[in-house]
Structure formats: C-alpha cells, structure tokens
Amino acid sequence: MTAALAAASAAVPAVGGTAPDFELPNQFGEPVRLSSFRGQNVVLVFYPFAFSGICTGELCEIRDNLAVFENAHATVLAVSVDSKFSLRAYAAQEGYGFDLLSDFWPHGAAASAYGVFDGETGMARRGTFIIDAAGRIRYTVVNPRGQARDFGEYRAALAGLDQG
C-alpha cells in the first residue's frame, strides 16, 4: 500500500477524542496552530479545492452567517490542499473573513490526520470537525464527494456547545 493510500484509509477521529494538532500557513503565509485556539471553540472545515462550485457555496454560506459561529465563540478554519497563493486570491475574490489554511505540503498531512484525505485524487474530502474549548472533538461529519454539508447541522452542533 502506498503512503497516499494508507493516508486515505486513516480513521476519522472519534467524537470525544482530542483533536489532532497541526500547524499550517493561512492565505497570507502566517502559521496557524490549532492548539493555539484552546479556550475557544473551533469549526474545522476541510474542503476539496478553492474556486470549485460546491466548496464556494459552502464557504459563502459560512461567510454570510459568520455571526452564528461568533455567537458560539467559535473560530472557523477552512482547510484545503491548495497553495497559500491560490487561497489568498480565493479569499479576496469571495470576501472570506476567516482563515483559509493551506495543507499543500506535506500534501494533505492535516487532512490525513483527520481521516479525510483522498490519496487517489489528492484532495481533502468534505469533513467538518467542531472542537470545543478543551480541544475535544464534539461533532464530525464527512460528506460524500459532490454532496454539500447541511448548514443547519452546524447550528445544532454549535448550540450543543453552549449547553455543555
């Protein structure tokens, strides 16, 4: 089994487990480490590629409803295997006010740690992980290729954080 295929078969971290840490550059090349967000909630959104139709629709829905995340004291981090240069152009074109992280090199390492890297196509699958202030995974969803995530599920999962 090649390393890429092994990465594709990695398990999705379980709800209740500690979120795997990583450091990736954002669209400006600034390093962003997941563990630096301890004390606040994080919505980690893996998506296949910048500028693609479903991905743009999903991220624009987050952009247009950012108050939902802010009200839950949640920071949105969106991750793809695109380069930081592509992500900078994408964020500027779409007006995203949250970090787009580049999992470009080592290719798909963060997506692999979360079990959402597709080694055959070289892209992340649509996976979302809501991580609480203690660094524990409280919600996960991984959608099949070509199927957008349900924004209503984000609302419900974020509301659950406020209760717990």
Say how far apart CA 102 and CA 30 lie, in whole Å: 10
Ramachandran region, residue 135 (left: φ > 0; alpha: ψ -120 to 50; beta: rest): left
- Which residues, in sequence order, are CB contacts of 30 under 8 Å at separation 6+? none
Catalytic site residue 55? yes
Residue from 55, 68, 72, 87 carrying the catalytic annotation = 55
Q: What is the C-alpha separation between 146 and 137, in angstroms, rounded?
A: 25
Cis peptide bond N-terminal to 106, omega within 30: yes
Query: Which residues lie closer than 8 Å to 64 by C-beta, 6 or more apart?
Result: none
Catalytic residue set: 55
